[in-house]
Chain A
Amino acid sequence: MKRPAAQQGAFHGEVQGDFARLLEKGGVPLPRFGAGIDAGKRVEGSHELIMAHGTTVIAVKFKDGVLNVADRRATSGSSLILYDEAEKVLALDDSTLIAIAGSYAQAIEAVRYLQHSFKYYARSQLQEMSLEGKLAEVSRLLSGSLPRVLQGLGGFLPVISAYDRKQQMGRIFFYDMMGARFETREFGAAGSGAERIRGALEYVEQSRGPFHELSLDQALRESLLLLEIAAKLDAATGGLGRVLPLAKTVTAEGVAEVPETKLRAIQAEALSAPRSD
């Protein structure tokens, strides 16, 4: 007896690991931020809405992989500190970190989507999505959120850090608002404080040697200091002072959070006296 096609359809996966198609099939709304909105029209009074924004995130290579640090401040408008414990560095999976700056609501929703998309692909197709595939997925989300950005409702910019198993090294990628992707050699940064410390990042690289040769401790000290500098120059960035920043690494062993004790030691050192080394 031949099996009727209808039965196969009822059970067999037709979406081939594509999470967007799975959601569409199930009628779950996709995170196409602002789809259907007239992009040409700015929303009246959008600047008065209370929207959380993340601020400075830094990604630097070190000898085992990539280190991400971020302050924990979320601001609204130009002066309101909305929240001081925001998490801006998140694991997308066991070999990929995302650091987010910009509209917090959109970024967090995008992260949730990407996490599910990657693990859905891996579990349904029985192989991990390639790094290239993951990066393209991020691009798609960004270009999808463009209408919202144009309306003045804000967008977000991610820095992706990944451990590339084939090349056995950490890699860093940043994006523009339209979803173009760029790979950087040593470091990447995003957020309102990022522009202000780019020169400093260059200086550190020239004076201390390339980041990918530094130990985790060295890289951590340099990047936390840079975060403190960003906080000095940018009102929307929380520095080392009150709330500890967040630091995560991605290496061949996977994603790990830098322990609080280590951060505290560096915080105390950085805030107390100029370094003697």
Chain B
Amino acid sequence: MAYSPYDWRQTLQEKADYVEDRLRVGSPVIGISCRDGILLLTVRQSVQHKLYEIYDRLAFGGLGNPSDLEALRQASVDFCHAEGYQHSPEDVSIQRVVGFALSPVLKRGFADPLRTPLVILGLFAQLGERPEDDLFYKLNYDGDFALQHHYGGIAGTREAEAQLERILKDALGLKEPRRALAWEKALPQALQAWVMARWQVRQGSEPSKGEAGERGPSASEPVKEKGSSEMTHLPSEKERERLLAEELRQGSVEAVLLERETPRTQRFRPLSEEELAPFLPTKED
């Protein structure tokens, strides 16, 4: 079978639609740069973990097809450890993992009409010496990636992601000279951002909303901030609480801290249930 340029573009569009359809249901992942480290948070529906340690100062969270995520994670871990041993742990940087090891492979796979695209959206975090040195990389299924400071978030639709970032930006007070929060202060913000993003995804998936919520392949479609104008109403506090309680009936909050100062060699520390309990709604039976 031969492919004309027209077929090729159409194939890409179809592949993008295919991926976006599957990404939409994914649970958002949020990262906030705190005084004591980087906080990553998500809500998972199964026992399968969603936040992973990649290297000494690198962590990863993603949404999409579990086996595709696993492939992405394994590739990152492989790359980092071969690099860290050959040179030194300080030479392993998130920019090289995402930019050189992952993005080209994703891009190749996505552009090849004979391959099924990977259904993934990844958030990579790199812990720096100070909060302002922390880096967040968002990696798209088509190989596109973007760098962010202070916080990072991924969600199943573009609107939900914009919503999530607006909330984080307001909550973290990035306009004034910034002082990083303690993780205990950042966690409720991350949870709120997660709820809002989830709300936005649900709104977008209602049939009446039509085409709202499409991400579009990032290379071909410029990012439109349509979320803010299209939002008919923001959820009240009650509605947000109800949504979170509903989500937590099947799922559970997963949060990790990539610790800045620790006597241990391992900086990646999953927060225990006891540590998380004060921030969560009490479970009613």
A-B interaction: yes
Binding site for B on A (CB under 8 A): 1-4, 7-8, 10-13, 15, 19, 22-23, 26, 28, 91, 93-94, 112-113, 116, 119-120, 123-124, 126, 254-256
Give 20 CB contacts A-B under 8 Å.
A3-B116, A10-B105, A11-B71, A11-B72, A11-B118, A13-B78, A22-B81, A22-B82, A26-B82, A28-B86, A93-B265, A94-B266, A116-B84, A116-B85, A123-B52, A123-B54, A254-B264, A255-B263, A255-B264, A255-B265
Q: Which of B85, B115, B266 contacts A3 (CB 8 A)?
A: B115
**Closest chain B CB from A199 CB (angstroms):** 36
List A contacts of B81 (CB < 8 A). 19, 22, 116, 119-120, 123-124
Which residues does chain B contribute within 8 Å of A113, judged by CB atoms? 85
Asked if B85 contacts A7 (CB within 8 A), the reply is no
Is B181 engaged at the interface, CB distance under 8 Å to the other chain? no
Besides A3-B116, A15-B78, A120-B81, 14 other A-B contacts (C-beta < 8 A): A11-B75, A11-B109, A11-B118, A13-B74, A22-B78, A22-B82, A26-B82, A26-B86, A94-B265, A113-B85, A116-B84, A119-B81, A123-B52, A254-B264
B77 within 8 A of A: yes
Complex-state Cα separation, A23 to B265, whole angstroms: 22
With CB as the reference atom, state the residue of chain A lying closest to B70.
A12
A residues within 8 A CB of B86? 26, 28
Does B49 belong to the interface (CB within 8 Å)?
yes
Contacts of A22 in B (CB 8 A): 78, 81-82
- Asked whether B141 is an interface residue with its Cβ less than 8 Å from the other chain, the reply is no
Q: Which 8 A-B pairs have the closest CB atoms?
A: A13-B74, A120-B81, A11-B71, A116-B85, A26-B82, A124-B77, A3-B116, A28-B86
A272 and B274 alpha carbons, distance in the complex (Å): 50
Q: Which residue of B lies closest to A11 (CB)?
A: B71
Complex formed: what's the CA distance from A47 to B8 in Å? 68
Give A13's nearest chain B residue, CB to CB: B74
Which residues of chain B come closer than 8 Å to A93, judged between CB atoms?
A: 265-266
B53 at the interface (CB under 8 A from A): yes
- Residues in A with CB closer than 8 Å to B49 are 126
A94 touches B264 (CB 8 A): yes
Interface bits B145-183 vs A (CB < 8 Å: 1, else 0): 000000000000000000000000000000000000000
User: In the bound complex, do residue B85 and residue A12 qualify as a contact, i.e. CB atoms below 8 Å apart?
Assistant: no
Residues of A within 8 A of B72 (CB): 11
A11-B105 contact given A4-B114, A28-B82, CB 8 Å threshold: yes
